Chain A
Amino acid sequence: MSPVASVHSLWTVAAGAPGKIPAPHIEYAELSPTLIVLGAAVIGILIEALVPRRHRYYSQLLLSLVALAAAFAAVIGLAAGGFGSSKAHIAAMGAVAVDGPALFLQGTILLVSLIAVFTFAERRLEPAAHGEGASPARTKGRAWGRVDSFAAQPAAVPGSAAEQAAVKAGFTTTEVFPILLFAVGGMLIFPAASDLLTLFIALEVFSLPLYLLCALARRQRLLSQEAAVKYFLLGAFSSAFLLFGVALLYGYAGTVTYAGIAEVVSDGAKQIDPALAGTMGNDALLLIGAALVLMGLLFKVGAVPFHMWTPDVYQGAPTPVTGFMAAATKVAAFGALLRLLYVVLPGLRWDWRPVMWGVAILTMLGGAIVAITQTDIKRLLAYSSIAHAGFLLAGVVATSEDGVSSVLFYLGAYSFVTLGAFAVVTLVRDAGGEATALSKWAGLGRRSPLVAAVFAVFLLAFAGIPLTSGFAGKFAVFKAAAQSGAGWLVVVGVLSSAIAAFFYIRVIVLMFFNEPKADGPTVAVPSPLTTTAIAIGVTATLVLGLAPQYFLDLAGQASVFVR
């Protein structure tokens, strides 16, 4: 067993004398981003328990923002301290990598989460009370007089008298903030995980809060809960595959650390663990195990054919959560995927590359084609996110530093566009809450030119039109793929982009060139929170589109994995 892989011997090898468990060596400073966020999440729980209700909203909001900002500052500090390059190493007894890709992705996740907190905290869009017998007078004295997008009383059965009462009373809850922080904590570990067990635990740490968040929609609670249950069931299902894959890989290599497995893959097993003598070095275990772990990650990124949950969950979840999930989960999951493929399995790339090519093609085409016939804006964006996962996979399979940097850049660019787009979706409302049916968006550009124009910018970025970040990202990814010899993958990618452009542009046409409907939705005026979120999204989209070079260079510097 390699020396770095000792902590996990706790699980796998009968320990020596009881009570002599060695204290692990933890580099707290290097892990500070994760620790800050998780610590803040715990404090958030305490706030829920101890702080009076009327103070909770502001304290939770402040705590979340401060924690995320502090964690981001810590990431910057680590990067400035050289941990992204020369001092990169694997911390926490070989469990968590501190290197360029990890820091870049953590920084992205933290920024995205920071913006997500703005949209989570939005309280001016929903009227305090809705449905029958709602009385606006009740809203007096509450924070900003309105409520947020989350269920008034999540524990109440949808449609029950208790729920109606809670809605009428205009209840709000603030648990979403610590739940969000827990999810962010898991996401920070996920792309940095350097052994398979840490990977799995990080996966669960961010998945469980997400399942919860999905169930918390204020309106259409049945749809929301259905989404959460589906996500949970399928997530559990895929986790099982992943775990099974982890077991097979352990059987193959006798270790769960990435470095250890990589060594066995390239050089063969040096020491045969007596307990695993029958399985070590068996390539069938390696291949099947690798495929199953990959599948678990492909599920999280929403790649075809493991994408089925995406549209249902994106549609049912509260829109701020959808935006957060679509952006941050994708960043974290692609980070983990990159590390797995580039650190653990590079010796195996002649086996997984063709398979991943297939997955990338299916994902690009599948997402783009099915999106054409969607009639709901959130489902449309869900399929768009599937197509984008395909474009990202095209960069992933490049197996080069350019591939890594292009994916890093793309993830950053894409998350801001996605967050912004979903934030705009929260603004377009009618009596039933958000008006997500596409037909209702007809003529939006005539009524609210600014909001429609902003959404059009996001759509153009999704479509990859030059001068938006989407173009720069797509160009980088396709370039990396082409240089790696997968020219035809790029051809498929460009064709898929063409198909995708159709439905993005269709929405623009719908907004600007169709007559508004008489009973169409109105655009709510948000608080500065959502406005800020959207403004940051637009700014990032345009800056990354007009002057991408600095960020491409940054991603290029951050593209080397520590092994």
Chain B
Amino acid sequence: MENLIALLVAAPLVGAALLLCGGKRLDRTGHLIGTLFSVASFALGVVLFADMLGKGAGDRALHQQLFTWIPVGGFRADIAFQLDQLSMTFVLLITGVGSLIHIYSIGYMEHDERRRRFFGYLNLFLAAMLLLVLADNYLLLYAGWEGVGLASYLLIGFWQHKPSAATAAKKAFLVNRVGDMGLSIAIMLMFTTFGTFAFGPVFAATDRAGQGTLTALGLLLLLGACGKSAQVPLQSWLGDAMEGPTPVSALIHAATMVTAGVYLITRSGAIFNAAPTAQLAVVVVGAVTLLFGAIVGCAKDDIKKALAGSTMSQIGYMILAAGLGPIGYAFAIMHLVTHGFFKAGLFLGAGSVMHGMNDEVDMRRYGGLRKYMPVTFITFGLGYLAIIGFPGLSGFFSKDKIIEAAFARGGTEGWILGGAALLGAAITAFYMTRVMLMTFFGEKRWDPAEVHPHESPKVMTLPMIVLAFGSVFAGGLFSINEAFVKWLEPVTSFAHGHSPVSATTVTAATMVVLVIGVGIAWGMYGRKPVPALAPRGSLLTRAARRDLLQDDFNHVVFVRGGQELTGTLVQLDRSVVDGAVNGTAAAMGGLSGLLRQLQTGFVRSYAVQMLGGAAVLVAATLLMRGV
């Protein structure tokens, strides 16, 4: 079976190669080819999953060594794969949700001239993402990491004729570079410390490394995770990334790629477990981001940006859970999967709404759409219930566990983290209710003469329905008899936390904040009409609309600071470096001019110089003997 692992990656890679190199002759069939390869990869994943279920929990992990990529002395980089329960979870999520979104895109991108290229990029993304989760060493993981970055860049800027899309792509790329740098330095540090970057040997050797090294490793990995998963302080790109086509937002910027940071931290659990300081940084980042994203999500009128804020916030939950160590890893991944379902569903729903509303994204110009697009309304609604943690739906199980684990960290930290997670749940309920009300309820705020809302074609609604099933049932299924936790335990290990408050209390508190959040939203957007133009709002609202001033901060600190720095360096370069270089060049030129004058053209002076040279040569030879 292990020989099939490479095929998981190869299938979408072949698809991408075909679609991107195939040229115009594939224009008419390109979307089908892309979908086919994606589904093939999913089918293969299911086969491997079935095989894995048939084995005992201890020996489920598969390895496949393809070839040694770079053997140089003690440096050995292998193209080798590892398929264990954690990777398997991701494979199914990536290929499953990926295939659904491929299918959805057939309808969504129907009228786009460059649809073949779009599917090529999607396949490329799948291949890179699978490489990322299947790699058995950090270097290969990094290759996938950069690959998804590339695919993300290409897809955010897919409508490159729009300057905003091109800028957003560039922004995402640049911010991600910061994180990637952290990961790459981490890999180098890992190699100098352990002499390898294969998962197994590195994790086995953590006790040999000093606490300082481990902390540095953890912080660098966290930096990488922050970049890819849009966590504070590298969160600024995700909102702009919504410039990409909506299926891209659903697949890459909600369900899969942005969760790579969670994967990285969970996979590197052995390192983080041994570095408590780094773990503390992780939970702080998670807690801050889950509030940050939630607050931003409250103020956005652009439906995709509101959802993007929500994504950021939900990943904050996962990072928080992953930072809690063995009591949280499994719940982080569980929330990741359920979030993959309901957030992808919500984005596809948003895309469906936009599809019917002439690509309008401003929720203040929606309203009352539930009658016009019932399927979208129901699937979106189920996603909504799932994300706010409505009892019995997916989000309820996964988020509840995270909040519980946060309290279980113990001490003051536990209270702070648990409180933040609870507060986040309240805000989540608020902003999601706001989205729901502004879009599907209330009065029409659109002009019926111009816009004719309609339900999307089946090829788009079908994936939404499938995802809605996932949103409703996944969490419950996972929680039966702690199935998911037991499934992952051999990889991530698991410890029951000792919460200072009982699980029932936490659940009750969650329910209370849920009701409060929904209630406030109802009071603000359900009971009275929503103004078609955004009111000025409070200071916090205005700040949240500007993404809590993240870009202003970056501009002042990094852009201005960078400009100052480069300005100074340019000055330094001109005066000192260029001065030295030009000075040397001028000196050489002058010397050359001087020496050139020896070349008089007169053979007599040449002969004299030769005579002198001979005399010096003889004298020097004799002198050497004397010395």
Contacts from A to B (Cβ < 8 Å): 229-230, 233-234, 237-238, 241, 283-284, 287-288, 290-292, 294-295, 298-299, 304-306, 308-309, 311-312, 350-352, 354-355, 358-359, 366, 369-373, 499, 502
The residue among A233, A308, A370 with the most chain B CB atoms within 10 A of its own CB is A308
If over half of B's interface residues share one DSSP class (helix, strand or loop), that class is named, otherwise mixed; here it is helix
Are B618 and A373 in contact (CB-based, < 8 A)?
no
Give bound CA distance, A312 to B603, whole Å: 10
| Segment touching A, from B78-86, B150-158, B274-282, B594-602 | B594-602
**Least Cβ–Cβ distance between A21 and chain B, in angstroms:** 37
If over half of A's interface residues share one DSSP class (helix, strand or loop), that class is named, otherwise mixed; here it is helix
Q: What residues on B are CB-neighbors of A369 within 8 Å?
A: 588, 591-592, 595
Q: A295-B613, A309-B606 are in contact. Are A370 and B621 (CB under 8 A)?
A: no
Give bound CA distance, A294 to B585, whole Å: 34
Give bound CA distance, A237 to B610, whole Å: 9
28 contacts between A and B (CB under 8 A): A230-B603, A234-B606, A234-B610, A238-B610, A241-B614, A287-B618, A288-B618, A288-B621, A291-B618, A295-B613, A295-B617, A298-B617, A304-B613, A305-B609, A305-B613, A305-B616, A306-B613, A308-B599, A312-B599, A355-B620, A358-B620, A369-B591, A370-B595, A370-B596, A370-B599, A373-B593, A373-B596, A499-B588
Interface presence of B25 (CB below 8 A): no
Give bound CA distance, A371 to B588, whole Å: 10
Q: What residues on B are CB-neighbors of A290 within 8 Å?
A: 621
Closest Cβ neighbor of B622 among chain A residues: A287
Closest Cβ neighbor of B604 among chain A residues: A233
Q: What residues on A are CB-neighbors of B624 within 8 Å?
A: 350-352, 354-355
Are A311 and B614 in contact (CB-based, < 8 A)?
no
Q: A287-B622, A308-B599 are in contact. Are A372 and B610 (CB under 8 A)?
A: no
Q: A230-B603, A370-B595, A373-B596 are in contact. Are A308 and B610 (CB under 8 A)?
A: yes
Interface presence of B23 (CB below 8 A): no
Contacts from B to A (Cβ < 8 Å): 585, 588-589, 591-593, 595-596, 598-599, 601, 603, 606-607, 609-610, 612-614, 616-618, 620-622, 624-625
Closest Cβ neighbor of A353 among chain B residues: B624
Q: What residues on B are CB-neighbors of A351 within 8 Å?
A: 621, 624-625
Give bound CA distance, A84 to B527, whole Å: 102
Give bound CA distance, A287 to B616, whole Å: 13
The residue among B609, B616, B617 with the most chain A CB atoms within 10 A of its own CB is B617
**Least Cβ–Cβ distance between A107 and chain B, in angstroms:** 32
Are A291 and B588 in contact (CB-based, < 8 A)?
no
**Least Cβ–Cβ distance between B612 and chain A, in angstroms:** 7
Give bound CA distance, A354 to B621, whole Å: 8
**Least Cβ–Cβ distance between A352 and chain B, in angstroms:** 6
**Least Cβ–Cβ distance between B623 and chain A, in angstroms:** 9
Give bound CA distance, A237 to B624, whole Å: 26
Give bound CA distance, A380 to B612, whole Å: 25
Q: What residues on A are CB-neighbors of B592 within 8 Å?
A: 369-373
Known contacts A234-B607, A308-B609, A502-B585, then 7 further A-B pairs from the complex at CB < 8 Å, ordered by chain A residue: A233-B603, A291-B618, A305-B609, A305-B613, A355-B617, A355-B620, A358-B620
Closest Cβ neighbor of A304 among chain B residues: B613
Give bound CA distance, A506 to B121, whole Å: 43
Give bound CA distance, A287 to B624, whole Å: 10
**Least Cβ–Cβ distance between A216 and chain B, in angstroms:** 19
Are B607 and A295 in contact (CB-based, < 8 A)?
no
**Least Cβ–Cβ distance between A153 and chain B, in angstroms:** 26
Give bound CA distance, A359 to B599, whole Å: 18
Cβ-neighbour of B607 out of A233, A304, A370, A499 (below 8 A): A233
Q: What residues on B are CB-neighbors of A371 within 8 Å?
A: 592
**Least Cβ–Cβ distance between B585 and chain A, in angstroms:** 7
Give bound CA distance, A284 to B625, whole Å: 9
**For the complex of A and B, 5 pairs with smallest distance between CB atoms:** A305-B613, A308-B606, A372-B592, A373-B592, A291-B621
**Least Cβ–Cβ distance between B462 and chain A, in angstroms:** 55
Closest Cβ neighbor of A359 among chain B residues: B617
**Least Cβ–Cβ distance between B581 and chain A, in angstroms:** 10
**Least Cβ–Cβ distance between A372 and chain B, in angstroms:** 4
Q: A287-B625, A366-B595 are in contact. Are A372 and B620 (CB under 8 A)?
A: no
**Least Cβ–Cβ distance between B621 and chain A, in angstroms:** 4
Give bound CA distance, A380 to B624, whole Å: 35
Are B617 and A294 in contact (CB-based, < 8 A)?
yes
Q: What residues on B are CB-neighbors of A291 within 8 Å?
A: 614, 617-618, 620-622
Give bound CA distance, A242 to B610, whole Å: 13
Give bound CA distance, A305 to B598, whole Å: 11
**Least Cβ–Cβ distance between B327 and chain A, in angstroms:** 55
Cβ-neighbour of B603 out of A229, A304, A354 (below 8 A): A229
Closest Cβ neighbor of A499 among chain B residues: B588
Are B609 and A352 in contact (CB-based, < 8 A)?
no
Q: A370-B595, A370-B599 are in contact. Are A283 and B621 (CB under 8 A)?
A: no
Give bound CA distance, A373 to B601, whole Å: 16
Are A288 and B622 in contact (CB-based, < 8 A)?
yes
Are B607 and A355 in contact (CB-based, < 8 A)?
no
Are A230 and B599 in contact (CB-based, < 8 A)?
no
Give bound CA distance, A290 to B620, whole Å: 12
Q: What residues on B are CB-neighbors of A304 within 8 Å?
A: 613
Are B603 and A292 in contact (CB-based, < 8 A)?
no
Give bound CA distance, A371 to B620, whole Å: 27
Q: What residues on A are CB-neighbors of B601 within 8 Å?
A: 312
Give bound CA distance, A492 to B606, whole Å: 26
Are B603 and A372 in contact (CB-based, < 8 A)?
no
Q: A370-B595, A499-B588 are in contact. Are A237 and B607 (CB under 8 A)?
A: yes
Q: What residues on B are CB-neighbors of A359 within 8 Å?
A: 617
Give bound CA distance, A534 to B490, whole Å: 67
Give bound CA distance, A371 to B625, whole Å: 35
Q: What residues on B are CB-neighbors of A366 within 8 Å?
A: 595
Give bound CA distance, A291 to B620, whole Å: 9
Closest Cβ neighbor of A303 among chain B residues: B613
Cβ-neighbour of B614 out of A295, A350, A372 (below 8 A): A295
**Least Cβ–Cβ distance between A242 and chain B, in angstroms:** 10
Give bound CA distance, A311 to B593, whole Å: 15
Give bound CA distance, A294 to B613, whole Å: 12
Cβ-neighbour of A355 out of B589, B609, B621 (below 8 A): B621
